[in-house]
């Protein structure tokens, strides 16, 4: 694609009367439209596979657009039409907003850094890029869907008239939303803090997927009427508000219709303004990371923090303090933790909400959080040498691993308890609470034990850039470490599970509360045993562990 | 320096004794049988071209990399058999390894000192002094990840000095460091060796080694080509650079005919 890029620049050079002259939007627009087309052509020319993929996906998108449009048009006159079309428009806009985050390189005209060297002013640039963005399969698809939605909603002549305005407006909001997000994203990625945030973005998707899954299941059981209140609210959110305006006009409330349309126009203006500001910053300001390092970073945290004062003295406290700081400050560690916390909560609680859950599902939280004990040294990256230099006996290694386990427990113990109580409260089966907590603690102990051992035996690197969590060539190692460990942890829990089963089968459920102290004691015991076994191995294998975790 | 004071006068027991050290990575031999004794109380330069095995050697000497064969003794203690004695006596600034960069410079020093078993208040006192001397006091509450290369090297040096080691190993401490920071590092190291401690550092900048070190070992293709005092290694050559090029067999002049088109008027 890059081969095609200089072409329009040269064209532009030929049409520009003199260097430094201001190019108006009128002159620039055809240039950018041609640039987009030639980038598309250049991309297709590159390889047969790419051409096939592009043609197939375009055909598929157009086919989907046809069917979707047909379906929407058939809704014409249906009283629930707005319950479908309005959320659909919102979904479409959401798609436009997230797309540039996933395919930042999908369209080079989306990347403002490519335009930095051209002598262009932001205002005409924004206008012409906006027009150029309307060329493509994506905008065509959106146009079909939006137009069909408008047809589905429009009943009165007034509504038809409004639809003529509303559809292009909604499309423009979608496209400028994508552009504004893309520009903001590039700006974000030029600073360290921004890159840190980008690592966390994968998580939003993971948690979002769970929520969407939950929503869809709710919808499946309740039907389209469930969407009515959603549609009612979304009707006022641009660009769905444009379709909301058509619906309002159809119902005869022209005041609302005009307000909704105005809201869309306002949103378009706002987005264009944001996009323009991002472009200006990108084209004139230096790399964000340079500025950041030079900026004086307020005098924060003079003296010892409160955190340090609460922790025990010596190596234990020192290790805990560092581990806990990393949970918050290191983007990779933070992402892993937030995922564990979120999934550990969502699975039992949502299952309970849907009535398909059980109190025992709450153990999931302990299991998810226990995973954090795995690959402890890989989480250090090659900075592990600083730890290795201070471990000269199995005792040092033991204290180090114990400190890390304790740091984990500071968060995990209250959290696992909370999730169990919450799940029990939702299900209402309070008698099961003590044994569920006991089982959770036993599982947590088993996870900590196997995690400590796997950290010493199967360490692997976690690359610090990007979304990958395993360095190339170490995926097998990671699988053995985490999945082997989880199976082992489940097996290690067997005695406690067996006790629970026996109590229930032997009709002694009244004594099941015993599982709380038994599970807790078992968890503590097995953790200590795991640490004891892992420590000499860690102390013996320091150089090997360092080599394994330094590949990222 | 009180507990480690004895045995540091030049000419007594060596600070580092290396015997028959080998390391292979697959097909490639990085270190091919090094025997070396580094005298105590000196400023020692380990010089060699890129890929000579400097980092590999220093990693094995400091216990961060396990050798295939051979033994290493630091201050009379075997690195692999008596790690506790060795690790307490050495300070290390490795090259190409990260630090805990999501801590601030100050937190990093506090963490390192406490891990090394220095009491908290004493760690903080030493960290204060080192941060002041190394010109890091203004940036001490900033995360190390936002530091420049020079600031990172200085932070790494401070972390390596915190427990007042007997022998200090520095891998390329001046690489990518601006002249001001380099001068600071240099002053600290000179002050440190003057008190009788040993510094071993690797570099491929001969001028630097010549001006700093009084003892030099030349490493090329995984073997020691020469070692001894600066004068001994320099021999009759006018500078260490010349002597070095001769030792590693790279003194051949550029063949003029290949690049006769380069420069001049005709393009």
| pLDDT of B152 | 92
Residues of B in contact with A550 (CB under 8 A): 97
Return phi, psi of residue B32, to 5°: -115, 70
Give the single-character DSSP code of A484: I
Return phi, psi of residue B113, to 5°: -60, -45
Residue with tokens 């090029």: B245
Strands of B43-47's sheet, edge to edge? B90-93, B167-171, B198-203, B43-47, B215-220, B223-229
Residues of B in contact with A391 (CB under 8 A): 87
Looking at CA atoms only, how far is residue B142 from chain A in angstroms? Answer: 6
Torsion of CA B245, B250, B254, B255, to 10 degrees: 140
Q: Domain spans of chain A?
A: 28-195+221-283, 307-549
| pLDDT of A1 | 35
| Separation between Cα atoms, residue B155 and residue B176, nearest integer Å | 14
Residues of B in contact with A317 (CB under 8 A): 114
From residue B205, alpha-carbon distances to A79, A166, B57, B213 in Å are 81, 69, 18, 12
Contact status of B117 with chain A (Cβ, < 8 Å): yes
pLDDT band at B16; cut points 50, 70, 90: very high
Q: Which residue of B has its CA nearest to A389?
A: B87
Whether A405 contacts A538, CB under 8 Å: no
| pLDDT of A298 | 43
| pLDDT of A304 | 52
| Separation between Cα atoms, residue A65 and residue A429, nearest integer Å | 49
Q: Which residue of A has its CA nearest to B110?
A: A318
Q: Which residue of A has its CA nearest to B100?
A: A383
User: Are A388 and B64 in contact (CB < 8 Å)?
Assistant: yes
| pLDDT of A513 | 85
Whether B100 contacts A385, CB under 8 Å: no
Contacts with A228 (C-beta within 8 Å, 6 or more apart), sequence order? A80, A83
| Separation between Cα atoms, residue A326 and residue B144, nearest integer Å | 13
Largest Cα–Cα distance of chain B, in whole Å?
71
Looking at CA atoms only, how far is residue A544 from chain B in angstroms? Answer: 8
| pLDDT of A11 | 42
Contact status of B266 with chain A (Cβ, < 8 Å): no
| pLDDT of A541 | 93
Query: DSSP per residue over A406-419, as a string?
Result: HHHHHHHHHHHHHH
- Grouped pLDDT means (10 residues each) for chain A, 552 residues: 40 43 71 80 74 83 88 78 80 82 58 68 81 83 87 81 86 88 76 70 71 71 64 78 82 83 90 86 58 44 62 89 91 86 86 81 88 91 94 94 95 92 88 90 94 92 75 78 84 89 83 88 95 95 93 76
Burial class, A100, CB count within 10 angstroms (exposed 0-12 / middle 13-18 / buried 19+) = buried
| pLDDT of A290 | 43
| Separation between Cα atoms, residue A115 and residue A503, nearest integer Å | 71
Query: C-alpha angle with apex B236: B234 to B240, nearest 5 degrees?
Result: 30
- Looking from the CA of A400 toward its CB, the CA atoms found within 13 Å total 33
Query: DSSP per residue over A171-220, as a string?
Result: HHHHHHHHHHHHHHHHHHHTSHHHHHHHHHHHHHHHHHHHHHHHHHHHHH
| pLDDT of A395 | 95
Mutate to test the interface with B, among A304, A307, A317, A389 (most CBs of B within 10 A): A389
Percent of chain B residues topping a pLDDT of 70: 91
ipTM field: 0.89
Contact status of B103 with chain A (Cβ, < 8 Å): yes
| Distance from the first to the final alpha carbon of chain B | 65
User: Are B145 and A315 in contact (CB < 8 Å)?
Assistant: no
Looking at CA atoms only, how far is residue A312 from chain B in angstroms? Answer: 12
Residues of B in contact with A543 (CB under 8 A): 63-66
Q: Which residue of A has its CA nearest to B144?
A: A293
User: Are B111 and A382 in contact (CB < 8 Å)?
Assistant: no
| pLDDT of A110 | 55
| pLDDT of A70 | 87
| Distance from the first to the final alpha carbon of chain A | 30
Whether B170 contacts B26, CB under 8 Å: no
| Separation between Cα atoms, residue A131 and residue A128, nearest integer Å | 5
Contact status of A473 with chain B (Cβ, < 8 Å): no
Return phi, psi of residue B196, to 5°: 105, 0
Contact status of A392 with chain B (Cβ, < 8 Å): yes
pLDDT band at B189; cut points 50, 70, 90: very high
Among the partner residues B87, B102, B142, nearest to A297 by beta-carbon distance? B142
User: Are A296 and B107 in contact (CB < 8 Å)?
Assistant: no
User: Are B146 and A550 in contact (CB < 8 Å)?
Assistant: no
Cβ neighbour number for residue A34 with a 10 Å cutoff: 16
Residues of A in contact with B142 (CB under 8 A): 297
Q: Which long-range contacts (CB under 8 A, 24 or more apart) does A302-310 make?
A: A302/B141
Among the partner residues B65, B102, B138, nearest to A326 by beta-carbon distance? B102
Among the partner residues B87, B103, B146, nearest to A293 by beta-carbon distance? B146
Mutate to test the interface with A, among B58, B115, B121 (most CBs of A within 10 A): B115
For the stretch B63-118, pLDDT in tens is: 999 999 999 999 999 999 999 999 999 999 998 899 999 999 999 999 999 999 99
Tokens for B137? Answer: 């006091």
| pLDDT of A247 | 82
Residues of B in contact with A392 (CB under 8 A): 83-84, 86-88
Q: Which residue of A has its CA nearest to B90?
A: A389
Residues of B in contact with A389 (CB under 8 A): 62-64, 87, 92
User: Are A392 and B141 in contact (CB < 8 Å)?
Assistant: no
User: Are A318 and B65 in contact (CB < 8 Å)?
Assistant: no
β-pair partners for B44: B200, B215
Q: Which residue of A has its CA nearest to B97?
A: A382
| Closest to B97 in 3D by CA, of B160, B26, B15 | B160
Establish, for the pair of chains A and B, how many residue pairs have beta carbons separated by less than 8 Å: 91
Q: What is the pTM of this model?
A: 0.74
β-pairing, B77-78 vs B167-171, is: unpaired
For the stretch B105-137, pLDDT in tens is: 999 999 999 999 999 899 999 999 999 999 999
Contact status of A301 with chain B (Cβ, < 8 Å): yes
Contact status of A313 with chain B (Cβ, < 8 Å): yes
Among the partner residues B96, B100, B138, nearest to A386 by beta-carbon distance? B100
Looking at CA atoms only, how far is residue B137 from chain A in angstroms? Answer: 11
Helix (H) or strand (E) holding B16: strand B14-25
Looking at CA atoms only, how far is residue B58 from chain A in angstroms? Answer: 13
User: Are A550 and B120 in contact (CB < 8 Å)?
Assistant: no
| pLDDT of A113 | 64
User: Are B98 and A381 in contact (CB < 8 Å)?
Assistant: yes
């Amino acid at each position: 694609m890059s081969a095609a890029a200089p072409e329009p620049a040269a064209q532009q050079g030929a049409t520009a009367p003199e260097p430094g002259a201001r190019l108006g939007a009128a002159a620039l627009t055809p240039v950018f439209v041609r640039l987009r087309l030639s980038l598309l052509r250049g991309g297709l020319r590159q390889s047969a596979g790419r051409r096939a993929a592009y043609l197939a996906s375009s055909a598929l998108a157009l086919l989907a657009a046809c069917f979707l449009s047909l379906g929407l048009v058939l809704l014409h006159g249906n009283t629930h039409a707005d319950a479908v079309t309005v959320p659909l428009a919102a979904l479409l806009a959401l798609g436009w907003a997230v797309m540039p985050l996933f395919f930042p390189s999908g369209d080079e005209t989306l990347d403002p850094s490519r335009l930095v060297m051209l002598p262009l002013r932001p205002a005409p640039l924004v206008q012409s890029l906006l027009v150029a963005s309307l060329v493509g399969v994506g905008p065509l698809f959106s146009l079909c869907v939006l137009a069909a939605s408008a047809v589905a909603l429009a009943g009165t002549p007034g509504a038809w008239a409004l639809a003529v305005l509303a559809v292009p407006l909604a499309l423009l909001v979608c496209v400028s939303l994508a552009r504004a997000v893309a520009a903001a994203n590039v700006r974000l990625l030029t600073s360290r803090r921004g890159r840190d945030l980008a690592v966390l973005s994968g998580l939003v998707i993971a948690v979002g997927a769970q929520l969407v899954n939950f929503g869809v299941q709710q919808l499946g059981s309740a039907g389209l009427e469930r969407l009515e209140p959603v549609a009612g609210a979304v009707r006022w959110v641009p660009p769905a508000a444009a379709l909301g305006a058509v619906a309002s006009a159809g119902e005869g409330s022209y005041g609302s219709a005009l307000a909704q349309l105005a809201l869309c126009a306002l949103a378009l203006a706002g987005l264009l303004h944001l996009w323009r500001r991002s472009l200006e910053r990108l084209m004139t300001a230096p790399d964000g990371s340079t500025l950041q390092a030079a900026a004086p970073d307020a005098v924060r945290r003079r003296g010892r923090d409160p955190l340090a004062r609460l922790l025990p003295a010596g190596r234990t406290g020192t290790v805990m303090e560092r581990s806990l700081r990393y949970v918050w400050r290191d983007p990779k560690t933070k992402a892993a933790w937030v995922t564990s916390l979120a999934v550990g909560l969502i699975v039992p609680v949502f299952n309970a909400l849907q009535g398909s859950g059980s109190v025992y599902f709450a153990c999931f939280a302990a299991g998810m959080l226990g995973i954090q004990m795995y690959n402890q040294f890989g989480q250090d990256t090659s900075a592990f040498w600083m730890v290795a230099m201070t471990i000269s006996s199995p005792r040092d290694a033991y204290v180090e691993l114990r400190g890390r386990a304790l740091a984990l427990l500071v968060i995990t113990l209250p959290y696992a308890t909370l999730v169990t109580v919450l799940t029990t409260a939702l299900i209402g089966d309070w008698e099961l609470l003590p044994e569920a907590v006991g089982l959770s603690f036993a599982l947590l102990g088993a996870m900590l034990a196997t995690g400590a051992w796997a950290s010493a035996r199967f360490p692997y690197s976690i690359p610090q850039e990007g979304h990958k969590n395993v360095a190339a060539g170490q995926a097998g190692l990671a699988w053995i470490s985490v999945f082997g460990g989880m199976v082992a942890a489940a097996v290690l829990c067997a005695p406690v599970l067996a006790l629970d089963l026996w109590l229930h089968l032997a009709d002694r459920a009244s004594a099941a509360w015993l599982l709380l102290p038994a599970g807790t004691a078992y968890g503590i015991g097995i953790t200590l045993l795991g640490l004891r076994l892992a420590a000499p191995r860690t102390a013996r294998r320091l150089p090997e562990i360092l080599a394994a975790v330094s590949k990222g | 320096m009180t507990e480690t004071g004895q045995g540091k006068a030049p000419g007594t027991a060596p600070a580092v004794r290396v015997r028959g050290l080998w390391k292979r990575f697959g097909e490639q031999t990085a270190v091919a049988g090094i025997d070396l004794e580094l005298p105590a109380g000196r400023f020692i330069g380990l010089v060699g071209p890129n890929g000579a095995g400097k980092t590999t050697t220093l990693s094995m000497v400091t216990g961060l990399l396990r050798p295939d064969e051979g033994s290493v003794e630091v201050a009379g203690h075997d690195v692999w058999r008596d790690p506790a004695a060795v690790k307490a006596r050495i300070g290390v600034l490795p090259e190409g390894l990260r630090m805990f960069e999501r801590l601030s410079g100050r937190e990093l020093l506090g963490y390192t000192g406490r891990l090394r078993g220095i009491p908290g208040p004493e760690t903080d006192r030493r960290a204060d002094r080192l941060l002041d001397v190394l010109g890091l006091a203004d940036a001490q509450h900033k995360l190390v990840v936002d530091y420049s290369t020079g600031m990172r090297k200085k932070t790494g040096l401070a972390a390596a000095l915190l427990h007042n080691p007997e022998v200090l190993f520095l891998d390329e401490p001046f690489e990518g460091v601006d002249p001001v920071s380099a001068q600071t590092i240099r002053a600290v190291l000179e002050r440190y060796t003057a008190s009788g401690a040993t510094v071993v550092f690797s570099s491929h900048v001969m001028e630097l080694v010549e001006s700093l070190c009084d003892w030099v070992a030349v490493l090329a293709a995984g073997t020691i080509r020469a070692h001894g005092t600066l004068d001994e290694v320099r021999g009759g050559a006018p500078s260490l650079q010349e002597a070095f090029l001769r030792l590693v067999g790279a003194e051949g002049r550029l063949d003029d005919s290949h690049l006769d088109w380069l420069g001049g008027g005709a393009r």
